[in-house]
């Protein structure tokens, strides 16, 4: 997480935006469980998430994006279930 927020004023509202960077999915010497924990923490701390892909979109990239999508859906379902 970068220490200085970006402050934006829109109409009468003021927003502070914090930028956080995390490890990518599929790191060397890491397993999918580790990736899941890092991604889950990033999603829980964030309002928006950007998924970057270096290079060509291949089968591994689609698999990673599938993991990201499934985790995001599970977190959203869990959040909605506790709100009722």
Better pLDDT: 13 or 63 = 13
- Predicted TM-score of the model (pTM): 0.51
3-state SS, one letter per residue, for the chain = CCCCCEEEEECCEEEEECCCCCCCCCCCCCCHHHHHHHHHHHHHHCCCCCCCCCCCCCHHHHHHHHHHHHHHHHHHHHHHHHHC
pLDDT tens per residue across span 49-77 = 777 777 888 887 788 778 777 877 777 66
């Amino acid at each position: 997480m970068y220490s200085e927020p970006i402050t934006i004023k829109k109409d009468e509202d003021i927003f502070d935006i914090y930028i956080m960077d995390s490890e990518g999915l599929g790191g060397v010497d890491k397993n999918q469980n580790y990736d899941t924990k890092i991604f889950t923490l990033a999603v829980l701390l964030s309002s928006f998430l950007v998924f970057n892909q270096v290079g060509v979109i291949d089968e591994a990239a689609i698999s990673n994006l599938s993991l990201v999508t499934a985790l995001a859906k599970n977190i959203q379902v869990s959040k909605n279930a506790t709100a009722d």
